[in-house]
Each structure stands twice: as structure tokens, then as C-alpha cells.
Amino acid sequence: MSTDGHSARYLSTTSDLARAVDPALIDAMAEGLAGVRQRGGRLFVLGIGGGAGHASHAVNDFRKLCHIESYAPTDNVSELTARTNDDGWDTSMVAWLEVSRLGAGDGIMVFSVGGGSREHGVSVPLVNAIERARDVGASIYGVVGAPDGTLARLADVAVVIEAPSDLKTPLVESFQAVVWHALVSHPALARQEGHWEALTSVSAPTSRVTS
């Protein structure tokens, strides 16, 4: 298979998708998450596969940079695999949220390529978790690649990345990282700078004038 043009197309498409994202949605998400923090709520970050990896990283950033009490069910491998083995994969995340007493003051952030579909049997653990969040009145946010999945339909705010079908997974997962990093550095949400940003702000070189 020819690789000619792949990298150029990938980068060009990335640029096009970035310009297509409505910044007002990211602003609204930042304001909503700040509201979760203000009312003493917690943030539960959910994902499967690459989304689970994102969830773990995002929890670190939301806790450290935004001072939001945050958790990812997939970080507890023992509990996740015990629930999957004993009770089934489909209920693994919603059961975790029930034990954590997910309530109206809390929020969930979901990273998913398709957003989940009960009808098609896709990402059902996420579907169950999203529906549980809706039922208890928790805030729902997410970054997803499909406008018709459970996440996009039920979220308070969802950023939908409509990538080409042959590049959907890599580009949607890439933009999940872009969006959450935009959130944790957002003035409405960030409580402290990242390490390298803080170093830069105190050690920026001064201009030197020579004759």
C-alpha cells in the first residue's frame, strides 16, 4: 500500500478539524466544570481503550491543575476486572459509579470515538454510565466522533469531532487530548500553571541591548 501523501493529509485534516471546533463549546464546558468544583462535586472521567488512557491522564490534570476531585473507574484494575468477571462488562462502570454515590452535584467526562450505542451493542458500559448520570442529574460532558451516539445525544456539552471515516479513531482520540488540555489551561477552570509554564514565567530571559 502506498504511503504517499498520508502524513500531509493527516496534518491537513487535523488543521481543518481544529478550525471546525466551536470554541464556545469548550468555554461552556470549562464553565460547567468550574460549577462542579464550586458546588463541591466530583468529576468521573470515563473511557474505553484509548479513552481509558486519556481518562487516567485527564484525572491527573483536573486534580493537579484545576483542583477538582476527580477519578477514573478504569484506574482501579482490580475492581474493574472483578466486576467484569463476576457481573459482566456492560455494568462494570455504572456499578462503580453507584458505589461512588454519583449524584446531581457531580459530573462525568466521557472520551469515546462513537459515543456508545445500546442498539448496536457498542460501548455499552459507557451507555449505562451516561444514562445513570442523566437519571441522577449529574452534569455530562464529552469529546466524541459521532453526533448520533448516546454521548452526543445526552451530554450537557459535547464536542463532536467529525473526522473522515478512515481516520476517525486516531483523529478523534487526538482531539480528546487537545480539548481536555484546553480545559485544564482555561482561565475559568485552571487554578495553577503547569510545571513548565510556571518555570517559563519566572525565568523568561530579558532583552539585551548591545551597542
49 Rama class: left (phi>0) / alpha (psi -120 to 50) / beta? left
Element (H, E) at 107: strand 107-112
The C-alpha cell at 207 is 532583552
Helix (DSSP H) and strand (DSSP E) numbers for the chain: 9, 5
Mean pLDDT (whole number) for 125-143: 98
Q: Which domains does the chain have, with CATH numbers?
A: 21-190 (3.40.50.10490)
In percent, the amount of the chain with pLDDT more than 90 equals: 89
pLDDT digits (tens, 9 = 90+) for 58-85: 999 999 999 999 999 999 999 999 999 9
**pTM confidence score:** 0.91
Q: How confident is the model at residue 206 (pLDDT cuts 50, 70, 90)?
A: low
pLDDT tens for residues 144-192? 999 999 999 999 999 999 999 999 999 999 999 999 999 999 999 999 8
Residue 189 CA to residue 62 CA, distance in Å, equals 9
Asked whether the beta carbons of 160 and 146 are under 8 A apart, the reply is yes
Cell of 151: 454521548
